Structure 1
Amino acid sequence: MKITFDDKILAKVADFSDADLVLDFDNTIGENGRPVEGCSIGTNYRLIAINKGTVPESFDTVIDSNFAPLHFKKYGQMFLTKDMTLSEDSVRRVQLKESGEVIDSNVQILDYRQV
């Protein structure tokens, strides 16, 4: 499984090189970078930068990307496909796509690293 970031997304995440990246789909990560209780699934993806070494245990698999490994929950793989893209559309929304289909038309990119 792999997600390819387009050039616009690569520019947006360029300063995340010193972070762990989590692809969250069920509101597991709170604004302080720590796990919270929440529930949503399948169409509420968020790409979140958190402090290195603080990935919650529930993110038990890794998705390859052309930027950095993305930590993900293994049971959520049923919502994804083998080859996907993360790209910005003409109105600057970030979209997670597989061939021929949009998985999420408004992916948030967030930085929850603690200073």
Structure 2
Amino acid sequence: MKITFDEQVLARLSNWSNADVVLDFDNTLGETGRPVEGCSIGTNYRLIAIDKGTVPEVFDIIIDSNLAPLHFKKYGEMFLENGMTITENTDKRIQFKAAGEIIDSNVQVLDYRQAK
């Protein structure tokens, strides 16, 4: 499986090369980059940069992308399909798309690294 980021999103996240990147779908990570209690399944995606080597064990699979390896939860794979994209729309919001549908029209982009 691979998720493809468009050029605009890649440019916005160009300073994430020294981060681990998490694709969170149920508000698992708090501002410290550590797990917190959360509840929003499959509709509120967040791209989160965290310090290298600090990915919580709950993110137990890696999804290939043209940005970086995306850490994800195996049990969330049911929400994914091949050929998904992450794009920037005309009003600069980040969208997560599958073939023919928008999964999340406003993906949050968060940077929780301690040393940026």
CA contact (8 A) 1:48 1:112 kept: yes
The 4+ residue runs of structure 1 with deviation greater than 2 A are none
The C-alpha deviation readout for 1:40-78, integer Å capped at 9, x for no partner, is 111100000000000000000011001110000000010
1:61 maps to which residue? Answer: 61
Is structure 2 residue 94 aligned with structure 1 residue 94?
yes
Say which SS state the counterpart of residue 76 (structure 2) adopts: helix
Gap regions ≥5 residues in structure 1: none
Give the match for residue 18 of structure 1.
Answer: 18
Paired residue total: 115
Normalising by structure 2, we get a TM-score of 0.97
Extract unaligned runs of 5+ from structure 2: none
Confirm or deny: 8 A CA contact 1:48 1:110 kept in the other structure. Answer: yes
Aligned pair 1:85/2:82, yes or no?
no
The one-letter amino acid paired with 1:6 is D
Let me know the Cα RMSD of the aligned residues. 0.6
Question: How far apart in 2 are the matches of 1:92 and 1:9?
Answer: 9
CA contact (8 A) 1:33 1:114 kept: no
Distance apart, 1:81 and its partner CA: 0.7
Cα distance, 1:32 vs structure 2: 1.1
1:4 Cα offset (Å): 0.5
* In structure 2, C-alpha distance between the alignment counterparts of 1:109 and 1:72, rounded to whole Å: 15
Structure 2 residue matching 1:90: 3-state secondary structure: coil
